[in-house]
A and B are shown apart, each in its own frame.
Chain A
Amino acid sequence: MKKIVTLAVLIGLSVYSIAEARIKISGRGAKMNFSSDGIPDMYKPAFDLMLVKCIKCHTMERTVIAVQTGRAPITGQPFNKQAVKAYGIKMLRKPNSDMDKKQIRDIVVLLNYFLDENAK
């Protein structure tokens, strides 16, 4: 009986953790994007900003895949919080990225939130 209960609890926990681990996304392929449904209101302005700025040079699919897998899809680099900040600084300095420091900071914080959510 004890074993059955333990097994049931473990199965229940594993199912629960899988369900919560997913960050919500929408679309497939090049149209893939983070779903705005699950994003807290405090991050919504940064999300809207990201949708405008980041797609100037690459699809949102690239960002979604990076967050989901922990690897930047093109280069294979680890995509963690350290890398997110480095990418942020790189984008800040990139000619014609048209983003100021506050905007970069907001998007870095948002991506860190996505990483946290994906790691749950």
Chain B
Amino acid sequence: MIKNIITATPILFSLLFVGIFAFPERVSALPAFTRAHNVECTTCHTIFPELNEYGEAFLKNGYVFFGTDKKKSAEKIKATSSTLVAKPAVAPVADNVVKGAGDADLLNKLKAGTMISADAPETAAVPAQAVDDGRMKSEGLLISGIPEQLPISFTANIHGSYDRNAVNEFDFSTRTLKLNAGGNFKEKVGFFGTYILYTENSAGISNTSQTPTNMTGKDDIVELFIIGRHIFDTPINIKVGRFQPKLGLWKSNNKLSITNSYDTYAYTVGSSYFRIEQPQDAIEANMIFGTRLFFAGGVVNRKEQNTKEWYLHTSVKVGGADYLVNEPEIDLNKEETVFDFLTLTVGGYGYVGTNGDPNTVAGATPRQNDFYRAGVDIDLIYKLYRLKMSGVVGNDDNPDLTYTLPEVKSYVTAIEGQYTIQQNLIAALRFEYQDDGTNIVRRYIPTIAYAPIENLKVVAEYKHESGTSYKSAATTEIDNKIGTLGVTFGF
């Protein structure tokens, strides 16, 4: 077996790296938001799809760049910026007079953009959406609110893994192709959708030259929702459709790892399929209060369950850019302090629900599982270091729907430390502890993610999973060691 590892690992790495670097032009296309807003991937991501604070703000603002209510913050910065100049501040140069020599074509394009958005608030992060490569949007598109660029993109994953406990130790058959769509209509309504076009893993495959009939894990529409922004000119946004309820600080794909969700979001209890990261059919109201508080609450309607489920989330951010992407007030004339670089976000959430047999059948007595989850997440960033901490407690009164398993309490925690070696190279180490009432499992997951091109990343990760199944008839030991090398790219 050791021999297999020694011989196969270099081949695996060689194939992937040849594939990545020999044909870089093939992945130069950019996904939907980048196309729509003409910004780099790293505007919103560390290494995609993990979000930085600007990406989080974009998400919270319903897929619209912040461009309103900015005058106050601009004035605040203006008051202090005058201390940095020898001369009195001159009027902003955002008028229509473009001066200087240089690239005449580019200047003309910019001049056109300036004319269109001349009334935009100062320092507002308003991309020149009305101008694309110097071309004016057609009046019809502007009036109807249809995005000029078709707002779709694709994400592909290709994984190779080594699992010493599997019969087929090396597996290269895991791949997924997803269709993503997202954007906004006239900045009044945001929308987002993810559709799995194809997915395949090692299960059920007997002949890798054929497409397996059971495309394991295929869930088709993962998310599809719209967001009514600032309803009745209030700060409140209303989100409707299928989506991940806002509970934890990070959406399920908001991570470096390509395979392992944070266990606090992904664990299940007994045969109950509820997971915190599970997309639900729901209505959610959310709002940014002030600049650094975020609230969300919603109702979930589970299929064939007449009872509704409820959830609440709140988070607060201290340091760093606020939720409206205003940079923190830092006096550049003073010495550096720890607080110049410290960003702390703390979020808490609760979810109460019921699942089990359908309770919509007249005369039947359904077996039901009432459950709740309550959790706290902490995101701490200091210069090149990032620490993500997540903890959740849960209670299920009948997760197996048998009445033989008593009420189950669950305790799960995940801690991940990240270090940014280079802007496109991040290393992480995660520890997870899971007590789900049946098993106690510990996981150690080192990960290294590298993005040679912004829309392509290579991730090498290893998961050592050990634990005890203490509630089974005979106590069994859990010991899994899985290495994964994967490539994800968007286009």
Cβ contacts under 8 Å, B113 to chain A: 71, 76
B346 to chain A, nearest CB (A): 19
Q: How far is the CA of A112 from the CA of B84 in the complex (A)?
A: 8
Q: How far is the CA of A120 from the CA of B156 in the complex (A)?
A: 51
B148 to chain A, nearest CB (A): 15
Question: Contact: B422 with A96, CB < 8 Å?
Answer: yes
B85 to chain A, nearest CB (A): 5
Q: How far is the CA of A39 from the CA of B94 in the complex (A)?
A: 23
Cβ contacts under 8 Å, A32 to chain B: 102-103
Q: How far is the CA of A18 from the CA of B101 in the complex (A)?
A: 11
Tell me how many residue pairs across A and B have CB atoms closer than 8 Å: 166
Question: Contact: A116 with B92, CB < 8 Å?
Answer: no
Pick out which of these stretches binds chain A: B121-129, B286-294, B459-467. B121-129
Question: Contact: B122 with A68, CB < 8 Å?
Answer: no
Cβ contacts under 8 Å, A115 to chain B: 90, 93
Closest Cβ neighbor of B342 among chain A residues:
A93
Q: Which of A22, A70, A84, A92 has the most CB of B within 10 A?
A: A70
Question: Contact: A96 with B420, CB < 8 Å?
Answer: yes
Cβ contacts under 8 Å, A90 to chain B: 321, 327
Q: How many residues of B contact A (CB 8 A)?
A: 64
Question: In residues 320-337 of chain B, which contact A (Cβ within 8 Å)?
Answer: 320-321, 326-328, 330, 332-336
Q: How far is the CA of A71 from the CA of B106 in the complex (A)?
A: 12
Q: How far is the CA of A112 from the CA of B127 in the complex (A)?
A: 23
Cβ contacts under 8 Å, A96 to chain B: 384, 420, 422-423
Q: Which of B38, B39, B110 has the most CB of A within 10 A?
A: B110
A109 at the interface (CB under 8 A from B): yes
Question: Contact: B127 with A75, CB < 8 Å?
Answer: yes
Assuming the contacts A68-B100, A83-B123, A101-B336, asked whether A95 and B423 have C-beta atoms less than 8 A apart, the reply is yes
Q: Which of B110, B125, B328 contacts A65 (CB 8 A)?
A: B110
Against A, the Cβ 8 Å flags (1 = close, 0 = not) of B329-367 are 010111110001100000000000000000000000000
Closest Cβ neighbor of A89 among chain B residues:
B327
A11 to chain B, nearest CB (A): 18
Q: How far is the CA of A81 from the CA of B82 in the complex (A)?
A: 8
B136 at the interface (CB under 8 A from A): no
Question: Contact: A119 with B93, CB < 8 Å?
Answer: yes
Cβ contacts under 8 Å, B131 to chain A: 76
Question: Contact: A74 with B103, CB < 8 Å?
Answer: no
Q: How far is the CA of A3 from the CA of B380 in the complex (A)?
A: 70
Question: Contact: B333 with A78, CB < 8 Å?
Answer: no
A57 to chain B, nearest CB (A): 8
A25 at the interface (CB under 8 A from B): yes
Question: Contact: A73 with B126, CB < 8 Å?
Answer: no
Cβ contacts under 8 Å, A50 to chain B: none
Q: Which of A18, A78, A101 contacts B94 (CB 8 A)?
A: A78
A86 at the interface (CB under 8 A from B): yes
A53 at the interface (CB under 8 A from B): no
Cβ contacts under 8 Å, A119 to chain B: 90-91, 93
Q: How far is the CA of A88 from the CA of B100 in the complex (A)?
A: 24
B114 at the interface (CB under 8 A from A): yes
Q: How far is the CA of A118 from the CA of B100 in the complex (A)?
A: 8
Cβ contacts under 8 Å, B117 to chain A: 76
Q: How far is the CA of A18 from the CA of B125 in the complex (A)?
A: 30
A40 to chain B, nearest CB (A): 11
Cβ contacts under 8 Å, A113 to chain B: 85
Against A, the Cβ 8 Å flags (1 = close, 0 = not) of B58-101 are 00000001000000001001101110111101111111001111
Question: Contact: B93 with A70, CB < 8 Å?
Answer: yes
Closest Cβ neighbor of A42 among chain B residues:
B86
Assuming the contacts A85-B81, A89-B328, asked whether A65 and B102 have C-beta atoms less than 8 A apart, the reply is yes
Q: How far is the CA of A118 from the CA of B383 in the complex (A)?
A: 34
Question: Contact: B106 with A86, CB < 8 Å?
Answer: no
B105 to chain A, nearest CB (A): 10
Cβ contacts under 8 Å, A70 to chain B: 92-95, 114
Cβ contacts under 8 Å, B383 to chain A: 95
Cβ contacts under 8 Å, B341 to chain A: 92-93
Assuming the contacts A71-B114, A89-B330, asked whether A76 and B99 have C-beta atoms less than 8 A apart, the reply is no
Question: In residues 39-60 of chain A, which contact B (Cβ within 8 Å)?
Answer: 57
Question: Contact: B106 with A73, CB < 8 Å?
Answer: yes
B107 at the interface (CB under 8 A from A): yes
B120 at the interface (CB under 8 A from A): yes
Q: How far is the CA of A9 from the CA of B316 in the complex (A)?
A: 61
Assuming the contacts A69-B111, A76-B117, A101-B336, asked whether A82 and B102 have C-beta atoms less than 8 A apart, the reply is no
Cβ contacts under 8 Å, A65 to chain B: 102-103, 106-107, 110
A77 at the interface (CB under 8 A from B): yes
The 10 residue pairs across chains A and B that have the minimum distance between CB atoms: A76-B128, A70-B93, A80-B92, A68-B100, A105-B332, A85-B81, A89-B327, A70-B94, A78-B94, A95-B420
7 new A-B contacts, CB < 8 A, other than A81-B92, A89-B330, A92-B330, are A70-B95, A75-B65, A76-B113, A81-B78, A82-B81, A92-B340, A93-B328
